[in-house]
Structure formats: structure tokens, C-alpha cells
Structure 1
Amino acid sequence: MAASHLTQNDDVHLHVEAVAPTNAPPNPLRVANGTPTCHASLPSTPTDAHEGKNEHKHSKLRSLFKQNELIDSLSNGLKRHCNYVKITVSEEWANHLPKEWWKTGVAFLYALFNLIFTTVVITIVHERVPDKSVSPPLPDKFFDYMDRVPWAFTVTEVNGLILVGLWLIQWIFLKHKAIVGRRCFFLIGTLYMYRCITMYITTLPVPGNHMVCAPKLYNNSTGKIGRILRLLSGGGLSLTGSHLMCGDFLYSGHTVMLTLSYLFIKEYSPPWMWWYRWVCWFLSASGILCILIAHEHYSIDVVIAYFVTTRIFWWYHAMANTHALHQAPSNYLSRTWWNPVFNFLEKNVQTTVPIVFECPVALPSSCRQRYKMVEGARDE
């Protein structure tokens, strides 16, 4: 009876031990044969349970502290990322490349004035051109080796119209068209102003006996004004029948437009459009060559026109694209007479103009919404 009672008590005691807290796991005592004794299953003392609870609380505090550190590090990283993406490239360009259309308007008026003044000078010089019977054409080495081709000058003017049209379309789609436009207008005005000077101070005889010049008007001011208006209305082209006067030989205006159009097309077109550049180069080079083949200008007229056009274009863009030259005391390019005009036009342009194209007409709201949806899907 006593044995059975003891066995029942042991069973009860072992059941209580099974449901005891696991915070302080028992450390059973073992005898030599490895069998645990009855003392190994005794419950933990109250002091051990209290220490286990404190240790559990400390472990929870440590885990919460680590979680807080992780959250703080993630939030700081997000803040740094947000501060980084606030400054975009477009905002930077907008600050360094202001449009300033009013300056473009001033440059346009400058070019328009010099183009009109050129027609006035041509009308004046025409009255001083010597007669072919008195002053025959000057000897020209190119003419000695190449006979005249009558239709060649038509090719020159067609190529010039194509190049000017291509450049106009390209300029319309440029994002920074205001800056590029005033550069173009300033160079056109300056080149034609130089042309007025060279035509007026030196009047060459006609380069060929095939040329038919309009009769001289002498003191007929009304007739001269009519010729100026006719020349302006036809753009100074032989295709339109507006250019019947002689004397505008030194230097060639057709060479100026062919060369300048190509230079602007090449400068403000991306490198991947190399085929487009080569086509424009061919149009420009063949047009200039056809001027000589048609015997419409002396070779010196074409050479000087090419030299003056390319050098002024390269000087201007060298100063515009190299900002260290703007205020450098050793910058000899700043000694040009047009340097104050350059500073006026390029004062607020703080970086090189990037080649970026955009649609010149605002898209409808439905098209913009579809564009945003396509961009969003592409980003995802």
C-alpha cells in the first residue's frame, strides 16, 4: 500500500514538472550509470523564476532597440534618397539656359536690318560696275580648267533652299531654340554686314560675258527703290527672277548661306544622325562647286566667303562653349569688336547648349495622358 502510494505521488510530481515554465530549464543530476535521480525533477525556486522573467524582459528590450535602429537607418536612407532626386537635370538646364526670347528678337532685327541694307548696297554698287566692253572679266584659274555649265547655278540655289528648309525644321524642334536662334541671327547679320563693306569698297567686273545686267538708273531714286523691293520680295535669287543686278561679287552670298546652314545643322544635330550630316555636307559642297562651274562668281569670292563664314562661326561657338574664356584676361578672342554683343547675348547661358528635341506644339490632354500611361508602364 505504501509502495503504491509512493508511486502515485511520483507520477503526480512528474506531471507537475512537465508543465513547469521553461524559462529556467532544469539541470538534472546524474549518477554514475547515467540515470537521473528524483531530485532532478524538482520545480524551480521562486528566485530562479524571477530572474528568468527579468532576463526575458531584457531580451525583449534588446530586440525592440535593434528594431528601432533598423527603422532609423532605413528612414535616414530614404531621406537622403529623396533629397538627391529633388534636383533634376531639366531644372538645372532651366536655370543655366534661360530662353530670353526678347534677346532673340533683338538679334532677328539686327539680321533683318543687314539683309535689307545689303539690297541697298547692291543697288548702289550696280551703278558702278564697269561695262564688259571696257573692263572684261578678270582671269580666273578655275575658269581656265572648267567650262561654264549654264544649269549649274540653278543647282546651287535649289541646294541652298533645301539646306535652309532643313535647318528651319531642325531649329523648330530644338528645345533651346531661343538661344540657337539668336546665335544664327547674329551670325547672319554680321556676315552680310561684312559683305556690304567688301562689295562697296571694291567693285569687280562681271566674271563672265554671259551675264546680263539690268540697265543703270543713275539718279532715278524711284526706280532704285523699286529694284530694292523686287530684290527683297524674291529673296535675291535668280530662280525668282529678282536678281538682275551685278556688282555683288566679293564675297559670295550663296556661299555664305550654303556654308552657314550646314555648320548649324552639324553643330545642333546628334552624332547618331551621321547620315543626315553627310547628306547636308554633300548639298553644301556640291552647291558651292556649282557656283564656280556656272561662272557666277570668281574663285576668290567663294574662298573668302567660306573662310569668313567658318571662322566667325567657330570663334563664336568656341567662346560660347568654353566658359573659362568669357572673363579670361588672356582671351584674344574677346578683342573682337562684337565681343560686347556676344556678352549681351550669352551672358546668362552658363553651360553648353545640349542637343534636345521636343514637339513645338502642345499635345492635347488625351495624348498627354496616354503618353504618361505608356511611360509609367515602361518604368514598371
Structure 2
Amino acid sequence: MAASELIQDDEDVRIHMDANVTTGDPPPCSVANGNPTRHARSSSLPPPDDDVDGRAAGDKLSSLLKQNQLVRTLSSGLRRRCDYVKISVTEEHADRLPKEWWKTGVAFLYATFNLVFTTVIITVVHERVPDKSVSPPLPDKFFDYVDRVPWAFTVTEVNGLILCGLWLVQWIFLRHRAIIGRRCFFLIGTLYMYRCVTMYITTLPVPGKHMVCAPKLYNDSTGKIWRILRLISGGGLSLTGSHLMCGDFLYSGHTVMLTLSYLFIKEYSPSWMWWYRWICWLLSASGVLCILIGHEHYSIDVVIGYFITTRTFWWYHTMANTHALRQAPNNFLSRTWWNPVFNFLERNVQTTVPVVFSSPVAFPSCGQRYRIVEGGRDE
């Protein structure tokens, strides 16, 4: 009998015993002389039916008692060991963190468009930069106390290249690189779109007499297109000799990349890699400082670049990691213009993205697989 059936029948066990009770004197027994003799019984006669029924009822009672005791023992044993019977099923996060690479592709196109559009705006703004002889550099408190170091801006660009390279390698080995990638592309595109706006509406004079700006082309559209292509091919870096135009001061694009790359490295690296985080922080902080030491940007350019980069990053990740805020009626972060874009990118991401590394390429298993088959022989 199965244990579950025994437990179920535990309460249904009933002991039934039928007993025939007779009152009065038993009928007289006849003897050889014909006179009845009361209460006489020959030893050779079989026992009466009442004794047989009583013995059978006793055996049945004993069997039912043993069965009832067995049921109670099994029931109490199962209750004591109920924790070992429970099976805890871990919730699968695969469906809660969909890759959706097509959304990552859309974010990449958005970032690429804004980066290219930035080069167009730089080319346009360059034509409006006032001449150094007409408009001298604006007074800057940092420049008053720190003299210019010519090689400092080279340190800035080298540090920026190192940080971007480290982040690229780290991103490739992240398991959820699709989700993290579209976050990175969206933030890059948004920050450079803001930069296009600030550069275009306010054109600052050069921050130092040392700066050499390319000659203005005025109505030469073909020359402007070649400048745009040259700026794109060189990554907008002075190291490659592609950036000879002026006017892209407010705010600093180098500060954006140095700060944003560090923020992503820190956010998506495990806590035990504290030494790696500190190295990246030193590269970022020294690179930003060298922008000012090289007098390549005004202090306000660096401050606004740092402020807008960190706030946009923190606002986005606050929304991404706190799911209760997405539908909260009093969430003021949902009033940003990019909230519909955020909902498009993060709609199916239902949990915080864990920091898990995995190989970007699935290598086939070369080892031989064995299958264990349990069999028994007939006895």
C-alpha cells in the first residue's frame, strides 16, 4: 500500500466488530439416558460458533490496529521530513533579460548619426569662430594659476584611447552585452547630440593663443565635405592630425568619453576588481585634468561635460535598475524627453543586469560524452 494512500485512509480507518450476545440459560444438552443435563459439554465436540466468531473478530481487530499504527508511523515520518521532499525551482532570468540585438543595432545607428552630425556642426561652427586678434581668449581662473604644458593634451588622448579599448574588451566578454551595448550607444548619441546644440548656439573664442586653426572655407562646400570625412577618419583626435578646426569648445567631447568610459567600466565590473576600477579612475581623472593643463578647453567646458555625462548616466541607470519607477505616477525622471526611447530599449528588461562574463565565441566540446544507463537484471 502506498504511503499517500495510507495517509489518506488514516482518518477513514474504522474498527467494526460484530458480536452476538445472548441472555439467559443456554439450551439443555441431551445425554445418553435421555435426561437433559444443563451446562454439560463433551470435550470431543467442536467449539461453538460464538467462539469462532470471537476469535476471528479478535484477529481482525489486531490486524486493523497494526495497520493503523503503520499508517500513523508513516504519516509522522513524512511530516518530519517534509523539508527534504520540497523542490525549490530557481527562476530563470533568460526570458527576463532578452538580447534583442536589433534594438542594439538601432541604438548603434543613433550613436553613429549623432557622431557624424557632430563633425558637421564642428565644420559649420569653425567658420564662425572669431579671429584671435579680434577676440582674445576669455579669462579663466584655472589658466591664471596653472601655466600651459604642451604635451598634456597628448596624455589626455592616450588615456582616452586606453579607456575606450579597455571598455571595448570588457564589453565583448560580458554575457549581456546586447543590453549593455544599447545603453552605451544611446548615451553616447544623446551626449553628442547635446554637444551639437551647445556648440551651435554659443560659439566661444579659442582658449589660448597657442591654438592653430585651419583656414576658413566660407562657401566651399566640397572642401567642407572633405574636412568632415577627414575628421571622421581620424576619430576627431589631434594625435591623428585630423582635428585642426576650432569652435567645438562648449562642452568638451574628450571629457565626455573619458568620464563615460570609466562609468561603464565601473558599473559593469565585479567588486573584487577594485584595483582595475582604481586604475581606470586614475586614467580618467588625469586625462580630464590634462585637458585643462594643456589649455585646450575652458574650465566651464570640462565642468559642464562632466556634469551632463554623469547625470545622464545616473538618471538612465536609476530608471533601468529600479523597475518600480517605470510606472510610478510621481516619477519625475519619466518626464525627460528620452523616456519614450528608454521604454523602447528597456521594455523587456525585467531585472537588473548582472555582471557575468562569458566567452563571445561558443567553442564546440571536443571531449567524448558518455551516457550512464542504469539497468537491472531479472531475478
TM-score band (shorter)?
Answer: 0.7 to 0.9
- Structure 1 position 342, deviation (Å): 1.1
**Partner amino acid, structure 2, of 1:81:** K
TM-score, structure 2 normalization = 0.78
Match of 1:214 in 2: 214
Say whether residues 1:348 and 2:348 are aligned partners.
yes
Q: Using the TM superposition, give the Cα deviation of residue 153 of structure 1 relative to its aligned residue in structure 2, in angstroms.
A: 0.6
- Cα distance, 1:327 vs structure 2: 1.7
Match of 1:163 in 2: 163
Q: Report the alpha carbon displacement of residue 95 of structure 1 after superposing the two structures with TM.
A: 2.4
Aligned partner of 2:273 in structure 1 is 273
Correspondence for 1:112? 112
Provide the C-alpha distance between the structure 2 equivalents of 1:64 and 1:335, rounded to a whole number of angstroms. 68
Query: What is the match of residue 81 of structure 1?
Result: 86
Go from structure 1 to structure 2 and tell me whether the alpha carbon gap of 1:60 and 1:329 turns closer, same or farther (over 3 Å shift): closer
Q: C-alpha root-mean-square deviation of aligned residues, in Å?
A: 2.6
What is the match of residue 293 of structure 1? Answer: 293
In 2 relative to 1, CA 369–203 (structure 1 residues): closer, same or farther, beyond 3 Å? farther
- The sequence identity of aligned pairs, in percent, is 77
Written as runs of structure 1 = structure 2, the 5 A alignment for 1:153-192 is 153-192=153-192
Larger helix fraction of residues? 1
Q: How does 1:245-260 map to 2 (within 5 A)?
A: 245-260=245-260
Structure 2 distance, partners of 1:369, 1:328, is: 51
Alignment match, 1:238: 238
Deviation, structure 1 residue 76: 7.1
| Distance verdict in 2 for CA 1:64–1:338, change over 3 Å | same
- Deviation of the 1:364 alpha carbon: 2.1
Residue equivalent to 1:284 = 284
Number of residue equivalences: 320
| Aligned-residue offset at 1:215 | 1.1
* Correspondence for 2:3: none
The letter for the 2-side match of 1:149 is V
Q: Distance in 1 between matches of 2:220 and 2:117?
A: 19
Change (3 A) 1:329 1:254: same
Q: 1:311 deviation in Å?
A: 0.9
1:270-301 Cα distance to aligned partner (Å, 9 max, x none): 21111111111110000000000011111111
Which residue type is aligned with residue 61 of structure 1?
Q
SS for the counterpart of 1:106 is: helix
Report what 2:202 is aligned to.
202
Counterpart-to-counterpart distance in 2, 1:195 and 1:72: 69
Distance in 2 between the 1:100 and 1:164 partners? 24
**1:136 corresponds to which letter in structure 2?**
P
* TM-score, normalisation: structure 1: 0.78
2:71 and 2:100 map into 1 onto residues whose CA distance is 57
Cα distance in 2, alignment partners of residues 367 and 293 from structure 1: 58
The DSSP-based 3-state class of the residue aligned with 2:142 is helix
The structural deviation recorded for 1:81 is 2.6
- Residue 38 of structure 1: aligned partner: none
- SS of aligned partner of 1:344: helix
Unaligned runs of at least 5 residues, structure 1: 1-45, 371-380
Q: Deviations over 1:298-339 (max 9, x none)?
A: 111101100111111111111111222212221111111111
Q: Which amino acid letter does the alignment assign opposite residue 312 of structure 1?
A: T
In structure 2, the partner of 1:39 is none
Q: Deviations over 1:35-92 (max 9, x none)?
A: xxxxxxxxxxx979968966774565356545754786699766x534x23xx24x1x
